[in-house]
Amino acid sequence: MSKRFRGKGLWGLPSHGRGTCPVCQTKRIKILYDILTEEGKKLTVCKRCRKKKIKSACQENKL
């Protein structure tokens, strides 16, 4: 049977859950996962970056 409601929750998010990942700078990717930095800030990142340990968003962008 087909799964009719798969992904339905994405339509309520801004840009349907897509944007630029603050860690890897990939554009138009789904950013759905919340992670905590070492500073205690919450970031929303892509699937590839969800398991990375991040010191801070500004230090990661400089690398």
Segments making up each domain of the chain, as ranges:
11-62
Query: Confidence band (pLDDT; 50, 70, 90) for 61?
Result: low
Token pair listed for 51: 């398991």
For 8-60, how does the pLDDT look when each residue is reduced to its tens digit (9 = 90+)? 989 999 999 999 999 999 999 999 999 998 888 999 999 999 998 877 645 54
Model pLDDT, residue 53? 80
Q: Is the entire prediction scored with pTM above 0.85?
A: no
The length of the chain, given as a count of residues: 63
The 3-state DSSP class for residue 30 equals: strand
